[in-house]
Chain A
């Protein structure tokens, strides 16, 4: 066996930088809790100013007054890691993820892509065009390739004899040993793997347990390497691009039908359904336009999927011409055909609220249908919201509040009878929206109960703010 290791020393930073135009402005990825913000990685201009990984953000700010900070996203790093694994999968069916690295078995692929220097060139060319800095090595064991990549770039070791020599010269610090041994051995004067490999096994066993010996055996090839191989994901990501620019939504229908058709075929192959997928319309520049397509239940019928997506697309105003379309489906739940109760008494055209809501949303747009929620803000103008993800405040006090709160208060004319009040409200200063009002519950001449207010201590000039049921 022969293993190629692709080491990705700047995975997190490259994942961010490859999406941006190149720039000399200092930039740092930042991580850690709000109390202990630290630098996760810094680009070259930032490093030149003294920023380092692990540094406190406050310390970094003391060194460099202006630099861009981006929140480090471990999930994004994982995504790029898997993305590159998927790339490597093109070259080998045995691909393994190592920390900051990808290792692939190449002996069986050498016939196709080889010989090695050519194969290596292919890998490097791909990585350069993808925008990931890297090192590549070749060795008879995966772990050896991984270890050697930490010290060399371009080293190719193919025989056990050269491997032994190459490993012998590796310093303990670079040998990726189990942490305890890695920390202890240099302190005992053992600096190179060669030294370590010549020590009595019993003494090592006693000090560092079998973990170290097992690792050394895997490294040298004395024991088989058991690794969990990479498998392509259970999600679907389809993309179509075309050579001309599409400016009309109608013209997108053809590719859309293709993609939804492919999706349906894929779902059928898995015997699954899809409840939610994303269409991305890519432009020459700028962020793609995202269109979320949600269904009431898991579906897999091609025509239905197309119809749902079309409903969404048709309302779209294209900000720019489209050059590619991408369909991504992550949630692929099992498909259960809807059964109907024999004694279903619902009238033929009636539909449950949820379905009505879905249909209205499909027709009128995602933002056309809201659910009103209470907020915690004491000011009536801010007392309700249509935001989806608001934390619901605890139900408090039995204050008289109208069922229908007007968005904007309007003057109320005519005679009224005060039923309760004044309820003085002085609050909201913290965002510049301070208000000072006396609220009253009044009865109008028509007998309606209204919620009205006036400036403190000056009843008479009523502003209507809501109606009680």
Chain B
């Protein structure tokens, strides 16, 4: 019987070369009865964890290896014989990848000088074999070297075999059969050709010279191989496979040990820090419930050996606190009381029911994930701290595998098939969210394509094959892997696109699969805003607040929230959130937790929202499936809203252990893609029947759980976010000037632009002063007026095109004395013409030069100064220039500052709007429900939520505030042009006003943009 092991095989992690996934390759290897399969991606182990999983599932031995083309030598494949060989391979790949720009590698002969003990080498000779290559490899690897004979039905395979036999014999190198496999089956040939063409930036018609001549580079049946190779060469492959006994399960990974002081073990040190934290969080003594929870968690942590992980996270958070960088854990970690006392999370276990198994569980056997948000402007400091503390060899970011999506796949495929750019653009629109299956004939016809044409058929078939294939590695947003030993012994490290960033070759799922821990250091703009606001209060009010000491459960704050007066506030500022606030009327912290969680696709699609609201208003009785389940659902009035509740339900009603309940949650999240809910149906039904529930109830509940699916929100996460919601709301309510100032200084972030934020502040009585070179800093600042109340002074950062360093130079020069005139300003602040113009355009020169026309005339006359001659400019004849009109000033304000403190543009054209019978937003509010009206405003937002089938929310703005427009898809389609392009939009529609939530349902859109002239008002469009 002919036996065979494939020793040279690329997966699709050899980007744009391999055309099959590891899973496909292993399935095929199993079907063909191979003894083993090596995955030898080109200078990469990025796909090896997936290969490992596929190997485990198919029970085919995986040989870990990689292929290299040396800069100055042969092409070869290295296979790992044992752990030492694996470390050597990782180190070699790391060296090769770090020596080249992202996506490439450079390996030279001297990189192999140590002979890589623990590896076996296959020499892949070129078409014209270079004898010297063989001799060099022989001297390096000795009898760990084989000559790989790879025959693919070339012009004369028999001659090729004879040539190689002679060569091997003369060099004393053993030979082995190998396949240079690029795909699992022959019919992948077309996709493999396309990938090759993509790699070379060619169309298929141009790619003839670089394509493989045939489809032989697949996993061929053993019979087919036996017809090609001498039996001895095939047997040799199995013998080599027998020598390679390394498995990824041998990898041992330790979290850094240096955080534990002498005399402590990680466990005792964690306990020490925990106890210290308990005294910090509860100075007057911790509640018993919390203490019990902490003990329970410490037990779990010890059982799983995660102490060092918690210590590492604690150390990062401690650094941030020491540096006065606001940070807060999010996600499931907020279920942990230990995380709370370590300062990682802010959810008081006293206020929320924690379910630690959502975070770590024995059954899951997967590392916990701690995600920490930092101020977005200062996260880099945290990242640099981690690099500094552990060194670049021990800390690196996780990779994110960027896969082909409908858009990118069809673009690449259509380009290689030679379609013109215009058509590629249209196709990519049609296929933007394609899953490879849904029929596209309709949308294609709509755009003038013939779906039956052979070209389009080819495009679609190949695009479907390419979907989800990995395309390249990118860096994870903030997931750090930190290790005790150098990372490169564990996994190759390569350069990321950003300078000074290195990433490992594995992504989040790979890390999970191998039990490696990572810390997510994320960036959150609102934390920046809150910290800046607290700093301002310290400076101007002498108030020393922290997020912890902001007064809790303040009625004024909740009153503001209930009015949906929440522009700029965290999370609850979106249209959908604002529409929910007056219905839900949050009056305490837990209501905010629900508010954050309820405006999500999950609860909306699962139809949880209306039952909850009805019960909350007392329109519907609150009932529970059983008395035992009452504690689980009590806080959400019997309506399941949170993942934790579903888990608890399974525990209480169907006798799941907490760990099993977490598996149920994961199955819920994944069943739409992978199935796997059936065993839970069985289990839940049985369990509930046993506990006295009806079968019908169990079935109904199970369907509800399924519908809940991946969208359900963890309560812990909602609680973490609700904390920031409350803090930002309190600041907005009580310190509007400081909050606005901080919010502007933290831009860009959130839903609203500076113009909306400033107008909102003005409506709340905050005085806002313009940018002025006499007073403005880079940042927006607060100034006290005569009575001591705070006013906002716009900073130079609001001026488009103004650089920060120039702003600092300007304010620095001002400290030595006020500027006397334009020439003095330009000379002392060292302003180039670009910045001079920016100031004139922004109206920031009014104190030195007068109105904008005079300012522009003046700066045009400022000549570059030679230091020798001082600042004096020749006296000029005075001239008279007409001042700009109000409309022109507004125009310039919007163009340069993005907002105007003068009369609102709508006010300036109000007379004409009135003539066109447009009602303003103030009058609109007094209209009765269901009345037909016409209104108009600047378009400030277009938002199309995924959940709201075809509906677009447009926000208009006039001098009295925002107007919410709802546009159904048929109106949008009918009036596509107005819908997409109008900057000033008129709307005829029906005014709806229910439960304090009001909006206008558009029947007809009118483009009135020409009334604005060239005003640069910008809409923020979200899709």
Contact = CB atoms under 8 A, between A and B. Distances in A.
A226 interface: no
B846 to A, nearest CB: 15
Interface string B361-399: 000000000000000000000000000000000000000
Nearest to B857: A188
A422 interface: yes
Contacts of A200: 876-877, 879
B983 interface: no
Given A421-B156, A438-B153, A34 B420 contact: yes
Contacts of B876: 200, 202-203, 206
Interface residues of B, number: 51
Contacts of B189: 426, 429
Contact of B214 (A207, A426, A441): A426
A142 B206 CA distance: 53
Contacts of B879: 199-200, 203
Contact of A377 (B205, B852, B882): B205
A432 interface: yes
A376 interface: yes
Contact of A376 (B156, B206, B421): B206
Contacts of A184: 856, 860
Contacts of A415: none
B209 A189 contact: no
Interface residues of A, number: 48
A190 interface: yes
B371 to A, nearest CB: 38
B458 interface: yes
A378 B210 CA distance: 10
A203 B861 contact: yes
B976 interface: yes
A385 interface: no
A92 interface: no
A393 B882 contact: no
Contacts of B156: 400, 420-421, 423, 441
B153 A422 contact: yes
A171 to B, nearest CB: 14
B976 A35 contact: no
Interface string A192-210: 0000000110110011100
Interface in A198-237: 199-200, 202-203, 206-208
Contacts of A423: 153-156, 213
A425 interface: yes
Contacts of A50: 977, 981
A58 interface: yes
Contacts of B42: none
Contacts of A427: 193, 208, 211, 213-214
A425 B860 contact: no
B209 A430 contact: no
Interface string A357-401: 000000000000000000111100000000000000110110110
Contact of B209 (A208, A376, A424): A376
Specify which of A378, A399, A421 lies most central, judged by the most chain B CB atoms within 10 Å of its CB: A378
B977 A420 contact: no
A202 B877 CA distance: 9
A396 B211 CA distance: 12
A63 interface: yes
B324 interface: no
A430 B111 CA distance: 41
Contacts of A375: 208
A208 B154 CA distance: 73
Name the residue among A189, A200, A423 with the largest chain B CB count within 10 angstroms.
Answer: A189
A187 B153 contact: no
Contacts of B249: none
A190 B215 contact: no
A61 to B, nearest CB: 7
A62 interface: yes
A399 B155 contact: yes
Contacts of B882: 189
Nearest to A401: B155
A298 B189 CA distance: 54
Contacts, number: 119
Interface in B980-1004: 980-981
B213 A378 contact: yes
Given A423-B153, A423-B213, A393 B454 contact: no
B853 A189 contact: yes
B676 interface: no
B484 interface: no
A201 to B, nearest CB: 10
A266 B190 CA distance: 61
Given A35-B421, A189-B884, A432-B454, A425 B209 contact: no
B849 to A, nearest CB: 11
A129 interface: no
Nearest to A58: B425
A389 to B, nearest CB: 15
B208 A376 contact: yes
B216 to A, nearest CB: 6
Contacts of B458: 429-430
A82 interface: no
B190 A187 contact: no
Given A57-B422, A203-B877, A424 B153 contact: yes
Contact of B860 (A62, A188, A394, A424): A188
A420 B854 CA distance: 88
A424 B877 contact: no
Interface centre among B860, B876, B976, B981 (most CB of A within 10 A): B860
A62 B980 contact: yes
Interface string B446-459: 00100000100010
A422 B208 CA distance: 20
Interface string B825-853: 00000000000000000000000000011
B1014 to A, nearest CB: 12
Interface in B870-918: 876-877, 879, 881-884
Nearest to B457: A432
Contact of B421 (A37, A199, A397): A37
A151 to B, nearest CB: 20
A188 B853 contact: yes
Interface in A426-447: 426-427, 429-432, 438-439, 441
Contacts of B186: 426
A429 B422 contact: no
Interface string A27-52: 00000001101000000000000100
Interface string B598-628: 0000000000000000000000000000000
A349 interface: no
Contact of A63 (B206, B422, B861, B977): B977
B863 interface: yes
A421 B852 CA distance: 83
A184 B858 CA distance: 12
A65 interface: yes
B158 A420 contact: yes
Contacts of A431: 204-205
A63 B209 CA distance: 42
14 contacts: A61-B422, A62-B980, A66-B448, A202-B877, A206-B861, A207-B857, A376-B206, A420-B158, A421-B155, A424-B152, A424-B153, A426-B213, A427-B208, A427-B214
Interface of A: 34-35, 37, 50, 57-58, 61-63, 65-66, 184, 187-190, 199-200, 202-203, 206-208, 375-378, 393-394, 396-397, 399-400, 420-427, 429-432, 438-439, 441
The 4 A-B pairs with the shortest beta carbon distances in the complex, nearest first, are A424-B153, A189-B853, A430-B204, A420-B156
Interface of B: 127, 152-156, 158-159, 186, 189-190, 193, 204-209, 211, 213-216, 417, 420-422, 425-426, 448, 454, 458, 852-854, 856-857, 860-861, 863, 876-877, 879, 881-884, 976-977, 980-981
Given A58-B425, A376-B207, A424-B153, 7 more contacts: A187-B856, A188-B881, A203-B876, A393-B208, A423-B153, A423-B213, A426-B186
